[in-house]
Amino acid sequence: MTNGSALEGPGTAQGGTQAVDRAAALLTYVVEADHPVTFAEVTDALGLARSTTSRLLAALENNRLLERCAPGEYVGGPLFALYAARHDRNAQLARLARPMLEQIGASTGEDVHLAVANGDAIAHIAQVDSTYLLGARDWTDIEIPPHSSALGKVLLAWGVLPRPGGRLETPTGHTLRTRGDLDLDLAQVRSRGFAVTRDELEVGLAGVATPVFGPEGLAVAAVGVSGPTARLTDRVEQVARLLLDQTEQLSTLLGHGTPTEPQAGDSERDTA
């Protein structure tokens, strides 16, 4: 791109507004890059004069919005890290996912859950309640064996949770009992892209769940639908397709598509 780009050409805002536009474009370019960006890259990509690039980089660095990681190379500045550290990532994820959860709830009529890993346990961070009189309970703050829930199976299958060691807990007679059974089930989850449970956590309760992916292909959460087994059994495929479509959109919003393999390090996290 030459210096006659839209950022420097006629018809753009003048004075202070133009400077803000240029600074915003430069900051966005550096922060969204997947590698440290050089002075020359910024100048060429945005079509800025070298003197303009130099002034903007200096101003953004002075305000901690950019940071030099090597001579002439820039990355996002410490202000971004400080901002992220002061905020609850789970609360932000729940806020971002809320419209999707509500849409799934309106389409299915069932309880909808958003869950993340918390150590070796499942943390339910958001829920939309069923519109039926007979629905599932509020699972927020309730600890359950991950291998007995669809949400937990998703987090296990993509290596977000470590595989349980020793004897598996068996809340019902339908719960997976051995590591071999669990491995087979999780392989199927990864193959088809969603997890299913029927009467495995509680007799009469079924669930379907799919993963949510963030940057670099890492699974960051799971979204699931739960309800009476009698009501969900004949709708598993339909609900799964809806979840896959919605979580793919959320994954894209978070900066990634939907990989089909467990993330790196899955085998190392397995517990004997």
Instruction: Identify the pLDDT of residue 133.
Output: 74
Q: How far apart are alpha carbons 167 and 177 in whole angstroms?
A: 8
- The domains located in the chain, with CATH, are 15-83 (1.10.10.10), 87-269 (3.30.450.40)
Instruction: Identify the pLDDT of residue 57.
Output: 94
Instruction: Identify the pLDDT of residue 85.
Output: 54
Instruction: Identify the pLDDT of residue 80.
Output: 73
Instruction: Identify the pLDDT of residue 139.
Output: 66
| Cβ-proximal residues to 169 (8 Å cutoff; 6+ apart), any chain | 145, 147, 148, 175
In this structure, what token pair is assigned to residue 89?
A: 């990532």
Instruction: Identify the pLDDT of residue 270.
Output: 40
Q: How far apart are alpha carbons 132 and 176 in whole angstroms?
A: 29
Q: How far apart are alpha carbons 14 and 23 in whole angstroms?
A: 13
As averages over each run of 10 residues, the pLDDT of the chain (272 residues) reads 42 67 92 90 93 93 89 85 68 89 96 94 93 70 89 97 90 94 96 97 96 89 96 96 96 66 42 35
0.75 surpassed by pTM:
no
Instruction: Identify the pLDDT of residue 272.
Output: 33
Instruction: Identify the pLDDT of residue 87.
Output: 66
Instruction: Identify the pLDDT of residue 26.
Output: 94
Instruction: Identify the pLDDT of residue 81.
Output: 65
